[in-house]
Amino acid sequence: MVRKTTSKSYSVALVIVMVIYVAFSSVFDRQLFRSLSFSQGTLQQRWESRRTKQNPKVMAASAKITCDRSHTSYDLCSINGSCILNPKTGTLTLMDRTLTTSAPLVEKIRPYPRKSENWIMPRIRELKLTSGPSDLTRSCDITHDSPAIVFSAGGYTGSIYHDFIDGFIPLFITANSVYPDRDFILVVVNPKEWWMPKYIDILGTFSKHKTILLDKENASITHCFTSATVGLISHGPMTIDPTQIPNSKSLVDFHNLLDKALNPNLSIIKINKPRLILVRRYGNIGRVILNEEEIREMLEDVGFEVITFRPSKTTSLREAYKLIKSSHGMIGVHGAALTQLLFLRPGSVLVQIVPVGLGWVSKTCFETPAKAMKLDYTEYRVNVEESSLIEKYSRDDLVLKDPIAYRGMDWNVTKMKVYLKDQDVRLDVNRFRKHMNEAYKKAKSFMDLNG
Residues 6+ apart with CB under 8 A from 434: none
Residues 6 or more apart in contact with residue 441 via CB below 8 angstroms? none
Averaged pLDDT for residues 363-371: 96
pLDDT at 107 exceeding the cut of 90:
yes
pTM: 0.86
For residue 47, the SS3 value is coil
Per residue in 222-266, pLDDT (tens digit) is 999 999 999 999 999 999 999 999 999 999 999 999 999 998 677
Return the minimum-mean-pLDDT range out of 244-258, 263-277, 353-367, 411-425.
Answer: 263-277
Q: Are strands 185-189 and 142-144 parallel, antiparallel or unpaired?
A: unpaired
**Mean pLDDT of all residues in 8-29:** 38
Measured distance CA(229)–CA(222) in Å, rounded: 17
- Which whole number is the average pLDDT over 368-395? 97
* φ, ψ dihedrals at 448, nearest 5°: -60, -35
Averaged pLDDT, 5-23? 37
| DSSP 8-state symbol, 135 | G
Largest Cα–Cα distance in the chain?
79
- 275-449: in CATH 3.40.50: yes
Of 148, 143, 171, 167, the residue nearest 157 (C-alpha): 167
- More confident of the two residues 416 and 231: 231
Residues in the chain: 451
pLDDT greater at residue 267 or residue 57: 267
Quick one: which H or E segment has residue 450? helix 429-450
Q: Which of 110-114, 264-268, 310-314 has the lowest mean pLDDT?
A: 264-268
**pLDDT at residue 3 is higher than 70:** no
Integer Cα distance of 414 and 102 in angstroms: 55
Domain-wise residue ranges, the chain? 65-262, 275-449
Mean pLDDT for 141-146 is 95
- Residue 269's pLDDT band, with cuts at 50, 70 and 90, is confident
